Amino acid sequence: DTAVSQTPKYLVTQMGNDKSIKCEQNLGHDTMYWYKQDSKKFLKIMFSYNNKELIINETVPNRFSPKSPDKAHLNLHINSLELGDSAVYFCASSPRDGSYNEQFFGPGTRLTVL
């Protein structure tokens, strides 16, 4: 009965590879997010989708491409992985595109690029 789930939990890969992280929420929320947490624990938003529409796109390399097939899913595809992409990636969701609503976070995906 996990509210926000992410797969995989751990991802170890070589530089230059392409990988995807999947996120699903079963809360019926309209808005989903991707955050990156670096090695110093700093959390920064990457993207946000509201009802499958991209509404936030921070300064992220275009090697990162989010895809939302429906409002319950927001996947993150990363091309040509680099060492600096190593981080923990968190997916989150909220009831609507409203800043008042708390965001529910997934367990995170730890990506290690070798």
Partner 1 sequence: AQKVTQAQTEISVVEKEDVTLDCVYETRDTTYYLFWYKQPPSGELVFLIRRNSFDEQNEISGRYSWNFQKSTSSFNFTITASQVVDSAVYFCALTPPSYGKLTFGQGTILTVHP
Distance separating alpha carbons of residues 17 and 82, to the nearest angstrom: 9
Residues 53-112 that bind partner 1 (CB under 8 A): 55-56, 88, 90, 92, 94, 97-105, 107-108
What does each C-alpha distance from 35 to 1, 9 come to in angstroms? 22, 15
**CB closer to partner 1 out of 62 and 100:** 100
Residues 31-50 that bind partner 1 (CB under 8 A): 31, 33, 35, 40-45, 48
DSSP string, 22-63: EEEE-S--SEEEEEEE-TT--EEEEEEEETTEEEEE-S--TT
Both tokens assigned to 20: 């995807």
**CB closer to partner 1 out of 14 and 102:** 102
**CB closer to partner 1 out of 45 and 72:** 45
Contact segment (CB under 8 A) with partner 1 among 17-25, 29-37, 65-73, 75-83 equals 29-37
